[in-house]
Structure 1
Amino acid sequence: MKILLTGATGLVGSALVTLLAPEHELMIVSRDPSRARQQLGHEHQYLASLDQLHNLNEVDAVINLAGEPIVAKRWSEAQKQKICHSRWDITEKLSSLIAASSTPPHTFLSASAVGYYGRQSSNPIDEQGVPHDEFSHQICKVWEEKALAVADKTRVCIFRIGIVLAAHGGALAKMLPAFKLGLGGPISDGQQGMSWIHLQDLLRLLNFLLTHAECRGIYNATAPNPVSNAIFTKALAHALHRPACLPAPAFALKVALGEMAELLTEGQFVLPKHAQSDGFEFRFTDINDAMDDLFNR
């Protein structure tokens, strides 16, 4: 299968390249093809821009992971626009290329995030849940609409990613220094939901969506058992053999991070109902097992 891949140099993308490379031909879009080639290998085709393409007639599938990291910088209005358009513009361009194809790719997998739901109460929410309208929802809503615009031309699967757990990189990389020093702890009251997924399960889910022609629509890419922030931090501390007793007050995060602090102090308990109903089986369903796998194998 010839697969066009965006966002290949990130945590999920680079791991996905390793998974797919033995069996598929990869066309990787990167703003810095030279750096991407050094990171991902010389055997793939690299493009500096989608503007080099007029259609996707020769491509079998598209996997779209591109986007400015949402926690890279404080949310100024300029940074908000960068977060949005880094997702919207490339997704719109991919959809335009699919629409312009006489023999379009049979599959379009496009990323989104559980931020689509916005802040929720303690009640679990699945793909049919009603979102809370805030910045994270607005990003994801438009992002998804731009991919779904070509659902009449190709099979579209949107995967809303939760907190990806990996031993190196991602959310845990930002948490590990404090926890390894015994300075970690819950955020605010620790009751906000944290919808997580082990990196290996996320990769398996993407491969499942890629290879199962009956799959289409919206999928929550999260483990079946979301947990509170207090339980999450306890599991991480336990896996690292460290205490987790120093809470981060909400007001201090607000001062330090501004509006971005809401990503940490608010949350949701997201369930992967669609993936499970389509027959996907998670290997890591318990947060303690996932943390132990990452840090105590």
Structure 2
Amino acid sequence: MSNYFSHLASQHVLVTGGTGFIGRELVNQLLAAGHRVTLFSRQPERAARTFSPAPGQISAFSSWQTLASDTQFDAIINLAGAPVVGPRWSAARKQVLRDSRVGVTNQLLGWLQGAAHKPAVLINGSAIGYYGCRGDEPLDENAGTQNEFMSDLCREWEEAAIKAEAFGVRVVRLRLGLVFGTGGAFPKLLLPFKLGVGGRMGDGRQVMSWVHRNDVIAVIARAIANPDMRGAYNMTAPQAPTQAEFAALAAKLLHRPNLFVTPAFILELLLGEMAALFTKGQRVVPKRLLDEGYQFEFATLEAALRDELA
């Protein structure tokens, strides 16, 4: 795989969420390309074990007070956030999700306000949950929000990041779909098929808007390098299959049956409000990236699946 940051002039990059699925590969590529990286991490010991050479760190315990006002970053990549798929969305869990995104971003902006040297760009990793569950309606970057928890969470997160524009910082908001790639969501989704018990969820008509991690990292590098990039971008592949189409393709490539159905009410019983992530779809269109001539490395789900299985 190419190193997407090797062509950039030397950068000092602050990364939040650097030990997550996207963040690990992102930080490894930045370090391999010779850039300087500082991590904001809730798990500093894990971060120290993960990367070589070890990047600089700000822990969630010492917080932003350890950063001097004259610390200079060329770019900030904000990927912070507790996993959305996990415990049921109780009031307490929703607050954890909000604090780990909106709260961390507001802390970051508090430091940025007093920083003597402002970065050129803040790249904020939002999600397509911004649009809410809209079925088969094509959603480009001009689509609005819905009165749903995930939609409210992403809107608040982006509103916090946008405040950086008042300090002269260019802000790029990436609305990520389901992120695939080695070690990501693929193994969990493919396991039932490998065991011969795969099939669709619900009626199977829900649209899966997804993106490969390689493309996410490539666009982050593009956003650092291109001063014309600003505002919201849908970070989704141009081809979005239904869940039933995903099931059929997975079964075909694995040479396994595609017979079983997980009823929506079972998921709703087990997961509560979070079940909407699996039973309701979004057809999110990467209009701005396509208009600007970006060519996806993984434009089709079949290409991404074959890469995973290889």
TM-score, normalized by the shorter chain, greater than 0.5: yes
**SS of equivalent to 1:247:** strand
Match of 2:274 among 235, 260, 263: 260
- Relative distance call for 1:280 and 1:56 in structure 2 (3 A) is farther
Distance 2:218 2:71 in 1: 27
Distance 1:209 1:161 in 2: 14
- Relative distance call for 1:57 and 1:154 in structure 2 (3 A) is farther
**SS of equivalent to 2:259:** coil
* Match of residue 177 from structure 2: 162
Please tell me whether residue 99 in structure 1 is matched to residue 113 in structure 2: yes
Please tell me whether residue 110 in structure 1 is matched to residue 140 in structure 2: no
Which region of structure 1 is more displaced relative to structure 2, 246-255 or 45-54? 45-54
CA deviations over 1:252-295 (Å, ceiling 9, x no partner): 11111111111111111101111222232112111111111111
Distance 1:9 1:242 in 2: 34
8 Å CA contact 2:131, 2:151 repeated in 1: yes
Distance 1:2 1:75 in 2: 37
Distance 2:220 2:257 in 1: 35
CA RMSD in angstroms comes to 1.4
Matched positions, count = 295
Q: Deviation at 1:54?
A: 4.5
Can you give the 5+ residue segments of structure 2 that lack an aligned partner in the other structure?
1-10
* Match of residue 129 from structure 1: 143
Among the aligned pairs, what percent are the same residue?
A: 38
Counterparts of residues 216-235 of structure 1 (less than 5 Å): 216-235=230-249
Which amino acid is 2:128 matched to?
V
Q: Deviation at 1:241?
A: 2.6
So what's the TM-score if we normalise by structure 2? 0.91
Counterparts of residues 25-104 of structure 1 (less than 5 Å): 25-48=36-59, 49-55=63-69, 57-104=71-118
Q: Deviation at 1:51?
A: 3.1
- Relative distance call for 1:252 and 1:24 in structure 2 (3 A) is same
8 Å CA contact 2:146, 2:152 repeated in 1: no
Distance 1:174 1:189 in 2: 20
So what's the TM-score if we normalise by structure 1? 0.95
Q: Deviation at 1:236?
A: 2.5
CA deviations over 1:137-170 (Å, ceiling 9, x no partner): 000000000000111320000001101111312x
Distance 1:56 1:200 in 2: 33
8 Å CA contact 1:115, 1:137 repeated in 2: yes
* Match of residue 201 from structure 2: 187
* Match of residue 7 from structure 2: none
Match of 1:286 among 288, 300, 304: 300
Distance 1:101 1:294 in 2: 42
Runs (4 or more) in structure 1 with deviation over 3 Å come to: 54-57
* Match of residue 19 from structure 2: 9
